[in-house]
């Protein structure tokens, strides 16, 4: 015969397990098991990060990066430039679960609709005025015009954009909870992939004729 106190204890144990299990999946990148793991970018193998450079070869230089101090060249079709500060440009970030971007905007410049499959994004406007928006999986559009000093957050994996709606240049810095958040830029993914997505897929998806798809692809050199 099983006592009521024993049943209560078993139920309590089950509840504790159910509460603890999700916590391991809350962070975007796996937790580090050492103080640091400066990336060996020359390694041919990579599993959720790069192999560590031997500690004897690590220097102070590995933990500092000045790439975000330089203004990006916005002379392109979108009028914006993303300068990444991720593990590929800053190897000291390897396995630490963080990275940053600098995004410069010409007047009227757009950081086109895109998503980050591996990270939530937060950002702060440094200069200018930006319309920041994202779309939920229920197709609800959330947006606000932000000025210098104001912040935003984009939930992981959702399509979002920033548009310069001010009169001059604009600048924002963004941060991610992944050392390599990735970016799927919607117009490039759809109209400039290699190999190309068949026109029949795109004409049906957008309910337009073949010449419309070809015209859009031509804008991106496809």
Question: d(Cα 158, Cα 160) in Å, to the nearest integer?
Answer: 6
The reported pLDDT for the residue numbered 31 is 73
The reported pLDDT for the residue numbered 27 is 55
Does any domain span residue 207? yes
The reported pLDDT for the residue numbered 81 is 98
Determine if residue 116 is labeled as part of a ligand binding site. Answer: yes
> Percentage of the chain surpassing pLDDT 70?
86
Does any domain span residue 189? yes
Residue 15 vs residue 111, higher pLDDT: 111
The 10s digit of each residue's pLDDT in 129-185 is 999 999 999 999 999 999 999 999 999 999 999 999 999 999 999 999 999 999 999
The reported pLDDT for the residue numbered 195 is 96
Does any domain span residue 216? yes
Does any domain span residue 198? yes
Does any domain span residue 40? no
Q: Span 114-129, mean pLDDT?
A: 97
Question: d(Cα 173, Cα 67) in Å, to the nearest integer?
Answer: 12
The reported pLDDT for the residue numbered 4 is 55
Give the count of domains, the chain.
1
Tokens of 58: 């690590």
Q: What is the torsional sign of CA 84, 125, 80, 218?
A: positive
Q: Which class for 18: exposed (0-12), middle (13-18), buried (19 or more C-beta within 10 A)?
A: exposed
Determine if residue 179 is labeled as part of a ligand binding site. Answer: no
Q: Collapsing DSSP states into helix, strand and coil, what is residue 62?
A: helix
Determine if residue 111 is labeled as part of a ligand binding site. Answer: yes
The 10s digit of each residue's pLDDT in 45-84 is 667 789 999 999 999 999 999 999 999 999 999 999 999 9
Tokens of 22: 């999700």
Does any domain span residue 150? no
Look up the domain containing 196 and give its range.
183-221
pLDDT over 90 at 18, yes or no: no
Does any domain span residue 205? yes
- Tell me how many degrees the CA angle 110-146-80 measures, rounded to the nearest 5: 20
Does any domain span residue 172? no
The reported pLDDT for the residue numbered 3 is 54
Whole-structure pTM value: 0.84
């Amino acid at each position: 015969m099983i006592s009521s106190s024993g049943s209560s204890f078993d139920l309590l144990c089950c509840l504790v397990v159910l509460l603890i299990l999700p916590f391991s999946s809350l962070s975007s990148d796996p937790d580090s098991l050492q103080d640091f793991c400066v990336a060996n970018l020359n390694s041919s193998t990579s599993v959720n990060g790069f192999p560590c450079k031997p500690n004897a070869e690590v220097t102070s230089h590995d933990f500092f990066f000045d790439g975000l101090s330089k203004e990006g060249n916005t002379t392109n079709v979108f009028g914006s430039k993303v300068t990444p500060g991720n593990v590929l440009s800053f190897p000291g970030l390897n396995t630490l679960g963080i990275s940053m971007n600098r995004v410069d905007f010409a007047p009227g410049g757009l950081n086109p609709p895109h998503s980050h499959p591996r990270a939530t994004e937060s950002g702060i406007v440094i200069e200018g005025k930006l319309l920041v928006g994202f779309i939920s999986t229920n197709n609800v559009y959330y947006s606000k015009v932000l000025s210098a000093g104001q912040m935003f957050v984009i939930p992981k994996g959702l399509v979002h954009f920033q548009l310069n709606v001010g009169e001059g240049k604009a600048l924002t810095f963004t941060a991610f909870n992944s050392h390599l958040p990735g970016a799927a830029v919607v117009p490039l993914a759809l109209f400039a992939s290699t190999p190309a997505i068949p026109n029949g897929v795109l004409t049906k998806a957008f309910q337009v004729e073949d010449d419309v798809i070809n015209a859009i692809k031509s804008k991106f050199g496809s």
